[in-house]
Amino acid sequence: MQHLSGIVRARNALEKGDRFPVGALQPIVADSWQRCRDIDLDPRGTPRHSVVAFSDVKRRREANAAMRLLALAEMQLLHSQIAGSNFMIALGDAEGIVLDTISDQHFADSDAGRSIIPGSMWNESERGTNALGLAAMAGKPVAIYGREHYFACHGHLSCMAAPIFNSDGEVLGLLDASCAHEARQEHTHALVRMAAAQIENGLIYQDASKSFVFAFHPRVEYLDTLSAGLISVSLDGAVLSVNRPGKALLQGLPLVSGNHFDSLFEAGFGPAVDGLLKGGVVRIRDRAGSSVFMVCRQIGERRTVLPKRSSPSLPALVRKEDAPDFVSDDPAIKRSLNDLAEAAALCMPVHVTGETGTGKELMARHVHRLSGRKGEFVPVNCGAVPEELFIAEIFGHERGAFTNARAEGSPGLARAADRGTLFLDEVADIPLAAQTSLLRFLDSMEIRAIGGQKAQKVDVQIVSATNRDLEDMVAQRLFRADLYYRLNAFLIRLPPLRSRTDFASVVRHLMEKMAPGTPVTDAAISALAQRKWPGNIRELRTVLQRALARRRAEYIDEGCFDDDTPVVQLSSDCCDDCRSRPLSRAKCQEIRLLYHRTDENISRTARELGLSRTTVYKHVRDTS
Ligand SMILES: Nc1ncnc2c1ncn2[C@@H]1O[C@H](COP(=O)(O)OP(=O)(O)OP(=O)(O)O)[C@@H](O)[C@H]1O
């Protein structure tokens, strides 16, 4: 509370041009505000949105390739730890220029998210007081909460950044987590610092391809944590690099690159290595007389003892469970799923519609899982069963019941699905003659095999699916109306991928299944979101598979895609009226993009953006 009133007083002073009240701000913030004021930044104005050219971003990424590789993996992990809490994680280079972001889609789509993009400059003189810029300048972790940002328009954001150092103590880059809450986020800030430390350790392992890496700590149980010192030593004992905790532990000793191991530790390099190579923990004294436990983590390129990942041990850490099988963050799908469990419990027939590849079969399997039924999930592709055999395949037949019958007879698929689920895929293709039998079966849940005498009662959950317009087929008398209504007791419409609002979750989910732990940057997701996706999620999976095959690194960014998939061509990125009005441009682009992603659906675009249909129409009328 005290902090809040302090910040309110400080902001009043800032905006009136008065002196800042003593003690109302962290000194680092007060100093930053003063610098911003000295260069005449207007705290109530709009910060410059300076973005360097993409060629420059590429050059900077290449110059920082080793750090970027490790950082993207850490960002992915951080994202999975704090996903769903409206965060963006950004990697900046030493000058505070953003190289990559990974974020929750909601944040990426917000004004703040759109201003943190590859190439955007976050140094203090451009954006006022902010964590990324200050951490770069101060060379230490910084958190800036809400109204501590110099610009009032950043007052709803909190940003936490930590520098990433090389072993010479120079800042290589910055890791930042930003979220749209003013509240303090101590855990997240700790996670960001830990991720930065993890990257620094990763760099030591990477650099030490022809040397030993030893971990050491005065307490043996800390050897696998981020507090452990790491020291890389050449095969003849010259010290190459030491991580930050290692430097702190060996403070006062001659920690100069090239010095010999023996100048730091009493045991002597030869005997220490003999003990360490046996794979055990060795207790040795450093030259200041303190005793440390030491273990070998890496020998040359052969990782004989794998570096253990230090796991964060914060309380209440949000850990995501294994990725779910089914992504359904889109409100349209969520609404469909609302009462699905109840419908499945009541054994109501479920009908799933959607274009090819939208996940109809996956949804059918989900219904089966929800129903808790112990029997089998039995899929039937109605389009693939020859017309004359359809009834026999579904309801079974006795031995020799008809000319093409199997000699041993067949129990039929409906019976195989007893106490389980019968999935009638491509249900629009059921021959008209068979539709009557199916309807009878749905009414009675009784089956009588062809050539058989006795009817048998079964207990089957029916799920049907089609990508055709069944209502239209009913109107044309190609599909029985009564069967349609019977199948359609509970309807799920799966939206095409191009109009899904959870596109980013779908991409990350598919990637997690194909190559667990592979980071996908926001820029990669934006590039994919521009495409039309006629083959929907199935097509997306293929594109991602191809990107995995052709990628040159352990991550997927916007450079990993080929150009052979059609891109939604916006006739221009904003409408004629907005082109000359910089303030309306971003909103106009957002409207036009969503309009394309919703298949040019004005009502849906208006609903999702909370605008009137007229407003949407005004911005999109020249797009067709
Ligand atoms: N919501 C989803 N989350 C994750 N993966 C999905 C989702 N929906 C579909 N997929 C994946 O997309 C692919 C196509 O899904 P599925 O076969 O269920 O589509 P379909 O609509 O039945 O296609 P078709 O009409 O061509 O038979 C599958 O690999 C599936 O795992």
CB 113 less than 6 A from any atom of ligand 1: no
Question: What is the pTM for the complete model shown?
Answer: 0.72
Q: Outline where 285-359 has alpha helix (H).
A: 331-337, 340-345
Which residues on neighbouring strands pair with residue 350, listed in sequence order?
463, 490
- Judge whether residue 29 has pLDDT over 50: yes
How many angstroms separate the alpha carbon of residue 450 from the centre of ligand 1? 34
User: What distance in Å separates the CA atoms of residue 579 and residue 97, rounded to the nearest whole number?
Assistant: 27
How many angstroms separate the alpha carbon of residue 357 from the centre of ligand 1? 5
- Judge whether residue 200 has pLDDT over 90: yes
How many angstroms separate the alpha carbon of residue 372 from the centre of ligand 1? 21
How many angstroms separate the alpha carbon of residue 496 from the centre of ligand 1? 11
CB 535 less than 6 A from any atom of ligand 1: no
How many angstroms separate the alpha carbon of residue 570 from the centre of ligand 1? 28
User: What distance in Å separates the CA atoms of residue 535 and residue 137, rounded to the nearest whole number?
Assistant: 48
Which residues, 6+ apart, have CB-to-CB distance to 440 below 8 Å? Answer: none
CB 240 less than 6 A from any atom of ligand 1: no
User: What distance in Å separates the CA atoms of residue 484 and residue 474, rounded to the nearest whole number?
Assistant: 8
- Judge whether residue 565 has pLDDT over 50: no
User: What distance in Å separates the CA atoms of residue 592 and residue 623, rounded to the nearest whole number?
Assistant: 8
* Protein residue with least CA distance to atom 8, ligand 1: 359
pLDDT grade for 581, boundaries at 50, 70 and 90: low
How many angstroms separate the alpha carbon of residue 358 from the centre of ligand 1? 5
Exposure of 547 by Cβ count < 10 A (0-12 exposed, 13-18 middle, 19+ buried)?
A: buried
Which residues, 6+ apart, have CB-to-CB distance to 54 below 8 Å? Answer: 118, 119
- Helix and strand element counts for the chain (H, E): 26, 17
CB 375 less than 6 A from any atom of ligand 1: no
Per-residue pLDDT tens over the stretch 421-442 = 999 999 998 888 889 989 999 9
Task: Give the ipTM of the model, two decimals please.
Answer: 0.96
The answer to whether 148 touches 8, Cβ cutoff 8 Å, is: no
The answer to whether 131 touches 142, Cβ cutoff 8 Å, is: yes
| Ligand 1 nearest-atom number relative to CA 425 | 27
| Ligand 1 nearest-atom number relative to CA 352 | 21
Strand order in the sheet with 142-145: 98-103, 87-93, 171-179, 158-165, 142-145
Q: Which two tokens stand for residue 200?
A: 């620094």
CB 539 less than 6 A from any atom of ligand 1: no
Per-residue pLDDT tens over the stretch 87-100 = 899 999 999 999 99
Per-residue pLDDT tens over the stretch 361-385 = 999 999 999 888 999 999 998 877 7
The answer to whether 591 touches 611, Cβ cutoff 8 Å, is: yes
User: What distance in Å separates the CA atoms of residue 475 and residue 380, rounded to the nearest whole number?
Assistant: 25
* Protein residue with least CA distance to atom 26, ligand 1: 356
The answer to whether 239 touches 287, Cβ cutoff 8 Å, is: no
The phi and psi torsions of 102 (rounded to 5 degrees) equal -135, 125
User: What distance in Å separates the CA atoms of residue 459 and residue 414, rounded to the nearest whole number?
Assistant: 9
Which residue type is seen at 12? Answer: N
User: What distance in Å separates the CA atoms of residue 136 and residue 121, rounded to the nearest whole number?
Assistant: 12
How many angstroms separate the alpha carbon of residue 535 from the centre of ligand 1? 10
The secondary structure of 198-216, three-state, reads: HHHHHHHHHHCCCEEEEEE
Looking at residue 87, the DSSP 8-state letter turns out to be E
